[in-house]
Structure 1
Amino acid sequence: MTTAATDLRQTSSSSNVRGITIDRALFVAGAWALALVWLLPLLYAVWTAIHPSAYETRFDLFAPLTLENFVEAWNAAPFARYFLNTIILVTMILAAQLVLCTLAGFAFARLEFPGKNILFSLVLLQLMVMPDILIVRNYAAMRTLGLVDTILAIGLPYFASGFAIFLLRQTFKTLPKELDEAARVEGCNLLGLLWRVYIPLAKPTMLAFGLVSVSHHWNNFIWPLIITSSAETRPLTVGLSIFATTDSGTEWSIINAATLITSGPLLIGFLLFQRQFVQSFMRAGIK
């Protein structure tokens, strides 16, 4: 009887191991399939950008390499201005969001005031509204303020983020209230408490949100396209789309070179700091 039970357990264990092995193989195969789906367009863009236009549609292991496509793309449009506009834009938006949303998140997490729950419900409601729905009203507001075709007009509607307020509120609520009492004993006022206690402990959350914000506004297209009309205010995404429709951008090799110029900083930044990115998201609880 003992031998039979032992054999049964061994058979069951072997079946479980085989089942786990098959499941793992399926997951790995699925991950590779998704990676290839994502990588193939990128590899094609890199291939056409670093080879002459004659190799746009054919593969040759010994095809000559060239950087002329990047030079032509850079000279065909004011990409230096587009880069400057984009850097100013994402920096301005992120700075405003961190200041305003940190103050709002702290107020919702630690302060008591009339209408607190109603106001926070409105913040959550904002998360359910697609930004594109508000394009007409935002444009009317920017025109009234005289800000059309300015970098400020691109960023102003995004200075407050419901997602950031919610995220920081949840982070602040997880911190023990004993920290408040200890800081007040040391003579901290509310701003001192926020600056010296809460913000240092919320840095992973703020970093994770900062990555999301920079990536989103670096790639944002519809609103900047509508609100800008000159090269002096266009960000990279709008400049790239206009460049691709001009006579100088008809060759795929040059278009892909311009695309890599536009998306390169984000890709390089992720590859260099991917470990810090993942750790920030894990600590912040963003999924």
Structure 2
Amino acid sequence: MTQDTNKLETLGAWLLGLLWILPLAYAVWAAFHPSAYATRFELFAPLTLDNFRAAWDAAPFARYFLNTFLLVTMILAAQFVLSTMAAYAFARMAFPGRELMFFLVLLQLMIMPDVLIVENYRLMSWLGVRDTIFAIGLPYFASSFGIFLLRQTFKTVPRELEEAALVEGASRWRILLKVYVPLARPVYIAYGLVSVSHHWNNFLWPLIITNSVESRPLTVGLQVFASTDQGIDWSIITAATLLSSAPLLVAFLLFQRQFVQSFMRAGIR
């Protein structure tokens, strides 16, 4: 029975892997072949890099890459700082209304971000920061998921470590930075990879809040390839898509072991 279950699990893993790899394989094929071969699969079809050159020249990719890098770095830094402080307060500090406030944090996990787009747009307009990288990232600075994940991790840290540090004269800030944060490093890695991936690929909110090249990220910049009067060139579109997703693919291939191990440790905690 166990062997049959293992075989079914292996078969399911292969099927899911094929479903994921087929679109990527097609994108690689179309990007490295002329447009005439985008939908024709011939064994000796000519290879070319012209699609990547055309895609790079059709849009200011250097600016889009810079905007996206600044965006995900800004969001991740803010999330780490705010989530760490909030998680420590919920895990180790007693204050009036703590349970109610944590309930409100969990409640935000059940609300889709798209529901708040109108109100977020009004807020950015009131602050006068529309069409900026800061406006894209501001609604994501506080992460309910990050707070919840770190709170659960901090609660597993033995109180004796904190009490010993207090006896030695350490402040709350020093205890947080020297005791709790190092012990939660696997969780920070796991959450950081998820956050960067999500905001690197985010499309709807950046599309709504920006209207200039100076502040638009990669995902919004890619729409230029789908709005041409000459029709859709799938080879150039797939080349542009590979250019935009290449950093994430390379990062995953380099850190896939740390990625899986971090989530396993985070789940065990």
1:238 deviates by: 0.5
Against the structure 1 CA distance between its residues 67 and 189, is the aligned structure 2 distance closer, same or farther, given a 3 Å change threshold? same
Equivalent residue for 2:55? 73
Question: Counterparts of 2:146 and 2:10 in 1: how far apart (Å)?
Answer: 34
AA in 1 matched with 2:148: F
Equivalent residue for 1:8? none
Rg (Cα) greater in structure: 1
The counterpart of 1:138, out of the listed 115, 120, 128, is: 120
Equivalent residue for 2:214? 232
Q: For each residue in 1:220-239, what CA deviation from the matched residue of structure 2 results, as whole angstroms up to 9, or x when unmatched?
A: 11100100001111111111
Counting aligned pairs with the same residue, the percent is: 69
The counterpart of 2:247, out of the listed 265, 268, 273, is: 265
Equivalent residue for 1:93? 75
Question: Counterparts of 1:158 and 1:52 in 2: how far apart (Å)?
Answer: 40
Question: Counterparts of 2:92 and 2:124 in 1: how far apart (Å)?
Answer: 34
Q: Count how many residue pairs are aligned between Structure 1 and Structure 2.
A: 269
1:61 deviates by: 1.3
AA in 1 matched with 2:54: E
1:31 deviates by: 1.5
Equivalent residue for 2:40? 58
Question: Counterparts of 2:77 and 2:124 in 1: how far apart (Å)?
Answer: 20
TM-score, normalisation: structure 2: 0.97
Q: Secondary structure at the match of 1:255?
A: helix
Q: For each residue in 1:92-117, what CA deviation from the matched residue of structure 2 results, as whole angstroms up to 9, or x when unmatched?
A: 00000000110000001011111111
Question: Counterparts of 2:263 and 2:152 in 1: how far apart (Å)?
Answer: 14
Question: Counterparts of 1:273 and 1:153 in 2: how far apart (Å)?
Answer: 30
Equivalent residue for 1:202? 184
Residue 24 of structure 2 corresponds to residue 42 of structure 1: yes
Question: Counterparts of 1:133 and 1:159 in 2: how far apart (Å)?
Answer: 17
AA in 2 matched with 1:225: L
Give the superposed CA RMSD.
1.4
Equivalent residue for 1:223? 205
Question: Counterparts of 1:177 and 1:166 in 2: how far apart (Å)?
Answer: 19
Equivalent residue for 1:243? 225
1:247 deviates by: 4.0
Equivalent residue for 2:100? 118
2:75 and 2:137 in contact (8 A); partners too: yes
AA in 1 matched with 2:5: D
1:242 deviates by: 2.8
**Range with bigger deviation, 57-66 or 137-146:** 57-66
Question: Counterparts of 1:161 and 1:29 in 2: how far apart (Å)?
Answer: 36
Q: For each residue in 1:194-237, what CA deviation from the matched residue of structure 2 results, as whole angstroms up to 9, or x when unmatched?
A: 01111000111111111111011001111001000011111111
Question: Counterparts of 2:16 and 2:134 in 1: how far apart (Å)?
Answer: 38
Q: Secondary structure at the match of 2:39?
A: coil
Q: For each residue in 1:111-144, what CA deviation from the matched residue of structure 2 results, as whole angstroms up to 9, or x when unmatched?
A: 1111111111111111111100000000000000
Against the structure 1 CA distance between its residues 139 and 286, is the aligned structure 2 distance closer, same or farther, given a 3 Å change threshold? farther
Q: Secondary structure at the match of 2:155?
A: helix
2:30 and 2:234 in contact (8 A); partners too: yes
Q: Could you tell me which runs of 5 or more consecutive residues in structure 2 were left unpaired when the two chains were aligned.
A: none
Question: Counterparts of 2:54 and 2:164 in 1: how far apart (Å)?
Answer: 61
Against the structure 1 CA distance between its residues 64 and 249, is the aligned structure 2 distance closer, same or farther, given a 3 Å change threshold? same
Question: Counterparts of 2:191 and 2:236 in 1: how far apart (Å)?
Answer: 34
Equivalent residue for 1:150? 132
Q: Could you tell me which runs of 5 or more consecutive residues in structure 1 were left unpaired when the two chains were aligned.
A: 1-18
